[in-house]
Structure 1
């Protein structure tokens, strides 16, 4: 199966369920940037429950701005803050130290464009999952596509569907219960090398 989806910031489980069950992945890079999506947001499990990590972006006066042209607002010390949040949330998880050395550099490199940064995050997560997949990028935006499964709807953070994913043990699940469909980082830190097997055994509810 070939799939089309948006490269988002440390994508949620739904994105990676689609990816883990695909043969080829095409990234949508020719769309317009929209607010309230996972393009610059991910959710982790903090001590007080679901916690959003947002990448600040530079907004222009244009009504429409291409995703590929959106710059990160690096005047804010967001990378350091995000890493501190991950340390606070997952330092006691079973596999945090296992992936720490691969992931920490992502919070030190400086990227000008959010699309480029997200794609770099994908590369590292693919390595962590030991996922060897062929990827490509769109060359033009098409609203309707053929001969490919369109998972671009997963980018919506506000209209998110509840997916029937199996539960797994999370760091603070004794406090707040199981929180589904968080960032792939939550699954990695809690399930480690079993993460890919978990993803392959989940199914997505169609839109």
Structure 2
């Protein structure tokens, strides 16, 4: 990571929840000098901010965190609160268990993820950015990537992510149901982590 006090150039990515492996591959290539920009104006059409994809027994599955109705049409993403509608945390946990419960490393990771997947999550992470930040912190730690740069810890020079920063094509990696479903690309980085475990770090290093 950059030395304290030295200006840091940071790539700003659109706000995302459990972003695709392709996005974290880009973050890894930048040595962690990228972060998700939750200060952007809220746009209900941008679903990646509260939705991510996994591969379950039948193929691609989208998991959505419901959000509360914004108080203003001019609000920002970092003001959006999550909703407890449908007890979505149970849906997500069961879906992840069904999709990855038989992978070699699922049991090693799941206990650490329970704060984001159990009752009370809306109290622990009332804002969508809080929940996404908790996931991002765990993902970075698991992939041995530096924590997201804090604007208060170092002077920042920011640059916006372009199409090339999001349209990376990754080499195929082992997926537990590839023999049945074929390789599925564009999934949340959680798919990479659950399938490869610690080898996910090596996979990113070799890109």
Q: What is the alpha-carbon root mean square deviation over aligned residues?
A: 2.5
TM-score by length of 2: 0.81
CA distance in 2, matches of 1:137, 1:45: 35
TM-score by length of 1: 0.81
Answer with 60-69 or 129-138: which moved more. 129-138
Q: Which residue of 2 aligns with 1:116?
A: 130
Q: Which residue of 1 aligns with 2:55?
A: 45
CA distance in 2, matches of 1:175, 1:36: 31
CA distance in 2, matches of 1:56, 1:126: 24
How far did 1:67 drift? Answer: 0.2
How far did 1:168 drift? Answer: 1.1
How far did 1:7 drift? Answer: 4.0
Alpha carbons of 1:149 and 1:197: their partners in 2 closer, same or farther (altered >3 Å)? farther
Give the 3-state SS of the residue equivalent to 1:77 in structure 2. Answer: helix
Answer with 46-55 or 110-119: which moved more. 110-119
Cα deviation code 1:148-205 (max 9, x no counterpart): 45326699xxxx74x4211111122112100012111100011111112222333xxx
How far did 1:68 drift? Answer: 0.9
CA distance in 2, matches of 1:9, 1:170: 21
**8 Å CA contact 2:41, 2:77 repeated in 1:** yes
| Aligned partner of 2:102 among 82, 92, 105 | 92
Alpha carbons of 1:44 and 1:154: their partners in 2 closer, same or farther (altered >3 Å)? farther
Alignment gaps of 5+ in structure 2 = 1-8
Cα deviation code 1:72-96 (max 9, x no counterpart): 1113200111000000000001211
Give the 3-state SS of the residue equivalent to 1:43 in structure 2. Answer: strand
Alpha carbons of 1:152 and 1:32: their partners in 2 closer, same or farther (altered >3 Å)? farther
Give the 3-state SS of the residue equivalent to 1:175 in structure 2. Answer: helix
User: How many residues of Structure 1 are paired with residues of Structure 2 in the alignment?
Assistant: 190
**8 Å CA contact 1:3, 1:18 repeated in 2:** no
